């Protein structure tokens, strides 16, 4: 496990801005920067930490964790569906093929949970029994496992994703019926693989999102990220049954404590300038990301340290 001293020393060397790489077709997301290289795309996962639709802080090694977790899962699921990865030229970077992206996010849920206004549990608790075309029985309780995982797709939007049914996806022309059938079969297989590998490493893969596209031959491929701590919810499996039976929330390793700190110390939705997160909170979050990497993959995390990650990136990206 990476020591807290190592993390502390890296606080001032987080990867937050990649524009000085001077690569073409740059586009900055909340966490990931992308560069259009013609028939390929370069995705650089930074250390930026987002919530409340804005960047809150930067977290040492977070970008490496996310990029390498995805690399692990891409490698362990390519027998189910091809993916966009060409190479991993740097711990923070993925070189990928370009494709036609489906304007749909495929959310797969294994458990009835969540706390937001649009979460499966909130909708169910408010009386809804049909969630994105999935008919749910009466009598379920929060954090209960579904008999079978369900898909609750959303449309992709720059502003706000909207829930949609499979029928709505087809009638709105977002995908053909055949594309939906193939894609839904793929994501269910991916989720079951994810649940199995997570269970082998002491975790429950609770829910996640997938993004898919079509390559130049109209083959469906997996893109973006897969089963990362940012795109997925994980619980600790060893204590789940006992805590569920007693009505307690499952044990988890997540970033909710950072969100709570910002809620208590500012208005993160409306304040123009946010306070700096305390170093100890950032170090704790970095430790949690690293621990999740090691639990998810069953491998030791080896950090790429140094005073300037941009220098490392420039060297590793030569000739791409």
All domains of the chain in start order, with CATH: 4-99+276-316 (3.30.200.20), 101-245 (3.30.470.20)
Whole-Å CA distances, 12 to 29, 242, 281, 305 = 21, 41, 15, 11
Residues 165, 153: Cα–Cα separation, whole Å:
7
159-182 per-residue burial string, b: 16 or more CB within 10 A, e: under 16:
eebebbebeebbeeebbeeebbee
- Average pLDDT of the residues of the chain: 95
Tokens for 317?
A: 């990206």
**14-37 tens-digit pLDDT:** 999 999 999 999 999 999 999 999
Strands 130-131 and 134-135: antiparallel
Q: Quick one: 189 exposed, middle or buried, by C-beta within 10 A (0-12, 13-18, 19+)?
A: middle
Tokens for 75?
A: 């490698």
238-259 mean pLDDT = 93
Residue 116 falls in which region: left (phi positive, over 0), alpha (psi -120 to 50) or beta: beta
Q: Return the SS3 of 169.
A: helix
Q: Return the SS3 of 222.
A: strand
Q: Return the SS3 of 221.
A: strand
Closest residue by Cα to residue 316 from 7, 89, 37: 89
**194-248 tens-digit pLDDT:** 999 999 999 999 999 999 999 999 999 999 999 999 999 999 999 999 999 999 9
The pLDDT, as a whole number, for residue 160 is: 63
Give CB contacts under 8 A, 24+ apart, made by 46-49: 46/14, 46/15, 46/16, 46/17, 46/18, 46/92, 47/14, 47/15, 47/16, 48/16, 49/255, 49/258, 49/285
**44-87 tens-digit pLDDT:** 999 999 988 899 999 999 999 999 999 999 999 999 999 999 99
Q: What is the pTM of this model?
A: 0.93
């Amino acid at each position: 496990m990476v020591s807290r001293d190592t993390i502390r020393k890296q606080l001032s060397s987080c990867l937050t801005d990649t524009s000085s790489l001077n690569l073409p077709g740059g586009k900055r997301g909340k966490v990931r920067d992308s560069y259009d290289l013609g028939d390929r795309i370069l995705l650089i996962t930074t250390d930026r930490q987002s919530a409340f639709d804005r960047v809150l802080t930067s977290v040492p090694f977070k970008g490496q964790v996310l990029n390498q977790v995805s690399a692990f899962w891409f490698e362990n699921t390519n027998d189910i569906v091809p993916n966009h990865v060409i190479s991993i030229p740097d711990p923070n970077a993925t070189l990928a093929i370009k494709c036609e992206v489906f304007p749909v996010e495929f959310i797969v849920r294994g458990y009835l949970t969540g706390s937001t206004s649009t979460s499966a549990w909130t909708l169910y608790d408010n009386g809804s029994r049909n969630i994105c075309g999935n008919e749910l029985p009466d009598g379920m309780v929060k954090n209960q496992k579904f008999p079978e995982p369900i898909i609750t797709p959303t449309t992709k939007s720059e502003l706000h994703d909207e829930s949609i049914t499979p029928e709505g996806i087809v009638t709105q022309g977002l995908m053909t019926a055949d594309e939906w059938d193939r894609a839904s079969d793929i994501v269910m297989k991916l989720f079951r693989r994810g649940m199995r590998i997570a269970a082998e490493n002491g975790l429950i893969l609770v829910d996640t999102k997938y993004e898919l596209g079509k390559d130049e031959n109209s083959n469906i491929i997996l893109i973006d990220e897969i089963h990362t701590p940012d795109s997925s919810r994980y619980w600790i499996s060893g204590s789940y049954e006992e805590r569920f039976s007693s009505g307690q929330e499952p044990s988890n390793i997540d970033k909710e404590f950072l969100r709570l700190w910002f809620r208590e110390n500012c208005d993160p939705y409306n304040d123009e300038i946010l306070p700096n997160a305390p170093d100890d909170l950032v170090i704790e979050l970095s430790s949690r990301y690293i621990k999740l990497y090691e639990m998810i993959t069953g491998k030791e995390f080896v950090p790429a340290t140094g005073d300037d990650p941009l220098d490392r990136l420039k060297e590793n990206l030569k000739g791409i």
